[in-house]
């Protein structure tokens, strides 16, 4: 039985840890090489990308996720969207989550943009007909009419991101997950994307936004968590958390510098 109350919580994260295990070839030292006759040695490296993170997300929350490179933000988004199973702890999600295509998961570069729209839509739980009905709108929003039948490997990174964003926001998600969406595309697209997110915020149960632009976080979110080296450092209002984070990284409060974090 879920302990999540359908009426007021969209997401509950309890004691979540995610550990990546990678193996690598250890470079043999001369002595090792001689005694082990030059055989390479496999070693396992564990990366504790998230460590005992807990938080609740009430309906109506636009949650910003901030933190330095490698803090665990994308890992958290992957775990929330169900792509990555928790190593420990649990995640309860109440509603349909938008596909996380902007992370490079879900799109197949050998297929056309149009075929990838269908894949993304199916991944987010829509029927083929529902997705096909929206394909033109998705394409138009991404300004990709001319290119939509070309394989995605021929797209620029901006075109790729615009399509990812457009698919994510047109699938009527209950929970909208956006990773670095504001850095997708050019200035014109950024403005359009920000307006779309503000509109969706009204309808979606919750929104998660990972961004290095603290100005965007401040503008679009009403709640913020700050991750650092896999740990939850702080949860609070955008003003409070951004102030603490800025103090932590010791850059002062110049808006120009804030934008560059
Ligand atoms: N597939 C993976 N395999 C192994 N380690 C990984 C993998 N993905 C991420 N990591 C590691 O997990 C940690 C958290 O990475 P993550 O991408 O979640 O951080 P982030 O906060 O999103 O960073 P950024 O701001 O640079 O995007 C990092 O130490 C990273 O090297």
Tell me which of 24, 43, 47 to substitute to probe ligand 1's pocket, judged by most ligand atoms within 8 Å of the beta carbon. 47
* Nearest ligand 1 atom to alpha carbon 78: 18
φ and ψ at residue 171, rounded to 5 degrees: -105, 20
Return per-residue pLDDT of the chain as tens, 261 residues. 344 454 588 999 999 999 999 887 766 666 655 555 555 567 888 999 999 999 999 999 999 999 999 999 999 998 998 889 999 999 999 988 887 665 456 688 899 999 999 988 888 788 999 999 999 999 999 999 999 999 999 999 889 888 988 988 888 888 988 877 556 678 888 888 888 888 888 878 899 999 888 998 998 899 999 999 999 999 999 999 999 999 998 754 444 444 444
Which structural domains are found in the chain, ordered by start?
Answer: 9-21+46-95+214-260 (3.40.50.300), 101-204 (3.40.50.300)
Within 6 A (CB) of ligand 1 lie 20, 22, 47, 49, 67, 69-75
Q: Which residue, judged by its Cα, is nearest atom 31 of ligand 1? A: 70
Q: Which residue, judged by its Cα, is nearest atom 5 of ligand 1? A: 20
* Nearest ligand 1 atom to alpha carbon 21: 4
Q: Which residue, judged by its Cα, is nearest atom 26 of ligand 1? A: 69
Sheet containing 206-210: order of strands = 175-179, 206-210, 61-66, 223-228, 231-236
**Strand 61-66 and strand 223-228: pairing?**
parallel
């Amino acid at each position: 039985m879920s302990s999540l109350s359908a009426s007021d919580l969209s997401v509950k994260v309890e004691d979540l840890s995610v550990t990546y295990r990678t193996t690598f070839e250890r470079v043999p030292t001369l002595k090792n090489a001689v005694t082990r006759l030059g055989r390479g040695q496999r070693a396992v490296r564990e990366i504790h990308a998230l460590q005992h993170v807990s938080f609740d997300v009430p309906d109506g929350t636009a949650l910003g996720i901030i933190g330095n490179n490698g803090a665990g933000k994308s890992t958290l988004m992957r775990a929330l969207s169900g792509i990555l199973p928790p190593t420990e702890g649990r995640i309860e999600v109440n509603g349909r989550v938008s596909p996380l295509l902007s992370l490079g998961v879900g799109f197949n570069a050998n297929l056309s943009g149009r075929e990838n729209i269908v894949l993304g839509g199916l991944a987010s739980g829509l029927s083929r007909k529902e997705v096909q009905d929206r394909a033109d709108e998705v394409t138009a929003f991404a300004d990709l009419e001319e290119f939509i039948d070309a394989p995605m490997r021929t797209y620029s990174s901006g075109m790729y991101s615009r399509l990812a964003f457009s698919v994510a926001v047109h699938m009527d998600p209950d929970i909208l997950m956006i990773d670095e969406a504001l850095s997708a595309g050019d200035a014109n697209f950024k403005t359009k994307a920000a307006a779309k997110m503000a509109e969706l915020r009204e309808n979606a149960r919750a929104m998660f936004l990972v961004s290095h632009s603290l100005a965007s976080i401040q503008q679009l979110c009403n709640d913020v968590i700050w991750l650092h080296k896999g740990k939850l450092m702080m949860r609070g209002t955008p003003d409070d958390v951004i102030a603490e984070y800025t103090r932590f990284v010791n850059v002062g409060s110049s808006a120009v510098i804030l934008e560059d974090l």
